[in-house]
Amino acid sequence: MARRYWLMKTEPDVYSIDDLERDGTTFWDGVRNYQARNFMRDEMRPGDGVLFYHSNADPPGVAGLAEVVRPGYPDPTARDPASDYYDPKATDADPRWYMVDIRFVEKFPALVPLAVLRETPGLEAMLVNRKSRLSVQPVTPAEFEIVARLGRRRVG
């Protein structure tokens, strides 16, 4: 199966690219959108590339790169009544919510702001440029490469 590419959003005050760099790998739990869940459960595979996006930041943008290292598996926070992500409808037979594991690949010298993504040729169709609030979204191989090039050459 061909490698796929994704943009995954996180709030940097909750979990940032610096946290991922420190940890090396992490699980991507707490996603409670069915379309994002379906991407993680059905489509994300080890080796897939990830644009690590800081949302609710000033400015928002891509902070670096990661890679999927574990395919979708049930998110245990859905079954934990003490969790902010608890879902009383989740069961062992129907876990409802899934997550993946990712690993750190690269931190960009400077964030690639959303404003730059919006003005860059070749990125017009990216979901993030269409005001999509989806926390996990597919990107094309070409979009991934354009953003990676932008990130590697940004100095601030």
Question: What domains, with CATH codes, occur in the chain?
Answer: 5-153 (3.10.590.10)
Q: How confident is the model at residue 104 (pLDDT cuts 50, 70, 90)?
A: very high
- For the segment 68-76, the average pLDDT, to the nearest whole number, is 97
Q: Assess contact for 100 and 39: CB atoms under 8 A.
A: no
Model pTM score: 0.95
Q: Assess contact for 18 and 64: CB atoms under 8 A.
A: no
> Among candidates 127, 147, 117, which has minimal Cα distance to 49?
147
Which 3 state secondary structure label does DSSP give 100?
Answer: strand
